[in-house]
Amino acid sequence: MKTFIAELKRRRVIRVAGAYAIVAFVIWQVAEIAFPALGFPDWTLAFIIVVTFLGFPIALVFAWAFEITPEGVRRTESVTKAADHSETKGRLVLMVAVAAAVALALSATWLVLRDISPTHSPEGKWIAVLPFTNMSAEPESEYFSDGITDDIITHLSKIADLDVISRTTVMRYKDTELSLRAIGEELGVATILEGGIRRVGDRVRINAQLIDAQTDAHLWAETYDRELTDIFAIQTDVAERIADALEATLTADEKARIERAPTEDLEAYDLYLRGRYFLNQRGEGIRQALTYFERALERDPDYARAHAGVADCFSLLGFYHYLRPKEAFPEARAAALRALELDGGLDEAHTSLAYVKAFFDWDALGAAAEFERALELNPNSPQALHWYAATLNMLEQPDEAVAQVERAVLIDPLSVMEAAGYAWTLINARRYAEARTRLQRAIELDPGFALAHWLLGEAHAYDSRIADSLSHYQRAVDLSDRYPWFVSSLGYALARRGDGSGARAILAELTERSHQEYISPFFLAVVHLGLGDKDKALDLFEDAFEERSPLLTGSHIGPFYDELRSEPRFMALVERIGLAAQASTE
C-alpha cells in the first residue's frame, strides 16, 4: 500500500484529483449563480454536476497512465524519472485537470443550449400557409384575404396526417422580404403555400402555389377565377390538392368536414371574417368581434362557426373580467351548445364548450373530454392545446400539461400568446427559470405585450425575487392602460417589498374604480393578501367564489396561494371549488 501511495504521488494523481475537485467546485458555483440569471432550466445545474463527476475518474486514469512532457504526451513507464520531467509533469498535468473539467462543463452547457428550444426539422408533412396577398384595389379588403388564409389553414388543420403552422405565426410574414427558403428554415417546414386574392364585385380570383421550401420547386399551382359563391368550393379544392401533393391521408370523415359549406349566406360569411379579424386582435377587439358575429347570425341563425365565435368572445370577456363571469359565461355556454347542435363535428365549438366547463363550471374532467374531442377533430389547434394544458394543470398533471403546450408552440412558434401560455404552464409547474426564458422570447417578439411582462413579474415573485418582479408588473400596468388584474399584482408586490403606502394607494384606486366599472373582488383580495390582511383577503376570495371567478381554478395548485394552505377557511373554499377532488380521481 505504501508503494502504491508513493506511486500515486510520483505520478501526481493525488494532485490532479485535488485540482480537478477545486475546478469542478468553482464551475458548480458559477453555474449556480449564472444559469438562473440566464434562464436555463432548473435541471441544467444538476446536469453539469453529473457530467463533472463522470469526468473525475477519466482525469485520474489519464494522470496515472500518461505524462505530458515538453516532447508531447507519453506513457508514464516510458518517461525518465528525472526531476525536470517530474516538475514539468506536475505543472502540465494540473493544467490538464483544469482543462478537462472546463471542457466537460462547456460540452455539457452546449448540449443544454442546443436542447433548450427544440424545433422540428423541415421533414415530414409540415406546411405553412403564408398570408395571401390582397390584390384588390380596396385596402379595406385586407380582412377578406386574411380570412381566406385563415380558412385554408383551418381546412388543412383538420387533416390529421398534416402538421400545419398556425395563423398567428404565418401572419408575421405578411409583406415580408424573406425568401421562402429562409422562412422554411425559420419555421422548420418542408412546404409553403402562397398566393394572392383579387375581389371585384361578385367575382374573386385566387392564385395559389405549393412550393418546396428547400428547392423552390413548384409542387402544385392553380388559378381560380370564379363567382364569389364558389369561395367555399375553392377552399376545399385547395386543401384536397395540397393533401394529394403531400401524399397525406385524407379520411372520409375529414373530407366530409372540409367539404361542408359553413353557410349559404355570403354576407354572413363576410361579417364572420370581420369578426375573426377583430377577435385575433384581443383587447377591445373582442367587443367589436362580438358585434360582427351577432350580425352574421342575424343573417344566418344556423351559422355554427359564428355561434362558436360568440362563445369565444363571451368566454374571453369573462375570463379577463371585462364582464362579470356570471354574466359572460352562461352566454358563452349557450352559444357553444347551439354551435354543436348545428355541427357536432366543429372542433372550435368543442373547444369553446370545454373553456366554459374548465373556467366557469369548474368541471376539469368534463373540460378535458371536450378538449380531447376537439383535438381529435383538429390536432393542429394551438388554442385547444393551450387551454387543454391549463385544464391538465387543474388536474395536477404538470408534465402532461407541458407536453401539450410544447406541441402548441411547435404549431405556432412565433405567437406571443403561445409563448406566454407555455410560460404560464411552467409557472404552475414551479419551473420559474424556464418560464423566464420563454417570456424573454415573447417580449423579443413583441415588446409591447403586456401579458408577457405580467407573467415575468409572476415568475420572479414566486421565485422569491420580489424586487425583480416590480419593474415587470409596472411595465404590464403601463402597457395595459392600468388593467385591474395587473394593477392588483403591482399592489401585492409593493406590499411584499415593504411599501405599504404604495399598496394601499393601489387598493384605493381599485376601490374607486369599482364605482364606475366592474372590478373583481379577486383583484382587491390580491392586494389585501400582500398587505398581510388574510381575513379580509379571504372575505374577498369568497366573494369571488360567488361570482365564479375563473382565477380561482388555480387555488389548489397555484404558488400564489401557498401561504393560505394552512388556513381552514381557505381549505374549505378549495373543497367547495372541487377541482382538488377531481385531480385526486385521475
Same domain? For 270 and 409 the reply is: yes
Same domain? For 181 and 66 the reply is: no
pTM of the predicted model, to two decimals? 0.76
Per-residue pLDDT reduced to its tens digit, 38-51 = 555 555 667 667 77
Whether residue 438 is contained in a domain is answered as no
Same domain? For 30 and 87 the reply is: yes
Look at residue 583 in the predicted model and tell me its pLDDT.
84
Q: Which three cell numbers stand for residue 580?
A: 382538488
Mention every residue, 6+ apart, whose C-beta is less than 8 A from residue 297.
268, 303, 306, 307, 310
Same domain? For 204 and 290 the reply is: no
Per-residue pLDDT reduced to its tens digit, 210-259 = 999 888 888 898 898 888 888 888 888 988 988 898 888 889 999 998 88
Whether residue 508 is contained in a domain is answered as no
Same domain? For 388 and 272 the reply is: yes
Same domain? For 332 and 368 the reply is: yes
Could you identify the residue written with the cell 525536470? 84
CATH of the domain at 253: 3.40.50.10610
- Determine contact, residues 295/272, Cβ cutoff 8 Å: no
**What domain count does the chain have?**
3
Could you identify the residue written with the cell 415568475? 459
Mention every residue, 6+ apart, whose C-beta is less than 8 A from residue 396.
556, 557, 583, 586
Task: Tell me how far apart the alpha carbons of residues 530 and 539 are, in angstroms, rounded to a whole number.
Answer: 14
Q: In 395-499, where does DSSP find H-type helix? A: 398-411, 416-428, 432-445, 450-461, 466-479, 484-497
Whether residue 567 is contained in a domain is answered as no
Per-residue pLDDT reduced to its tens digit, 361-399 = 999 999 999 999 999 999 999 999 999 999 999 999 999
Task: Tell me how far apart the alpha carbons of residues 51 and 55 are, in angstroms, rounded to a whole number.
Answer: 6
Whether residue 237 is contained in a domain is answered as yes
3-state SS record for 179-199:
CHHHHHHHHCCCEEEEEEEEE
Q: Which three cell numbers stand for residue 349?
A: 365549438
Same domain? For 253 and 266 the reply is: no
Same domain? For 46 and 140 the reply is: no
Whether residue 430 is contained in a domain is answered as no
Mean pLDDT by 10 residues, the chain (586 residues): 66 70 73 60 65 71 61 53 48 52 54 46 74 78 83 90 90 87 90 89 87 89 87 89 88 90 91 89 86 97 96 95 95 98 95 97 96 95 94 94 92 89 92 92 89 95 92 95 96 95 96 95 97 96 96 93 94 94 79
Distances (CA, A) of 96 to 170, 473, 478: 50, 48, 54
CATH of the domain at 340: 1.25.40.10
Q: Which three cell numbers stand for residue 565?
A: 394552505
Per-residue pLDDT reduced to its tens digit, 188-215 = 898 999 999 988 878 888 899 999 988 8
Distances (CA, A) of 582 to 200, 365, 374, 575, 585: 55, 7, 21, 10, 5
Of the candidates 91, 116, 141, which is a domain's last residue? 116
Whether residue 35 is contained in a domain is answered as yes
Domain that holds residue 39: 2-116
Neighbouring CB atoms inside 10 A of 328's CB total: 24
Whether residue 23 is contained in a domain is answered as yes
Task: Tell me how far apart the alpha carbons of residues 471 and 486 are, in angstroms, rounded to a whole number.
Answer: 12
Q: Is 47 helix (H, G, I), strand (E, B) or coil?
A: helix
Same domain? For 104 and 32 the reply is: yes
Whether residue 212 is contained in a domain is answered as yes
Of the candidates 198, 228, 259, which is a domain's last residue? 259
Look at residue 84 in the predicted model and tell me its pLDDT.
45
Of the candidates 65, 90, 116, which is a domain's last residue? 116
Same domain? For 210 and 323 the reply is: no
Same domain? For 332 and 307 the reply is: yes
Same domain? For 253 and 268 the reply is: no
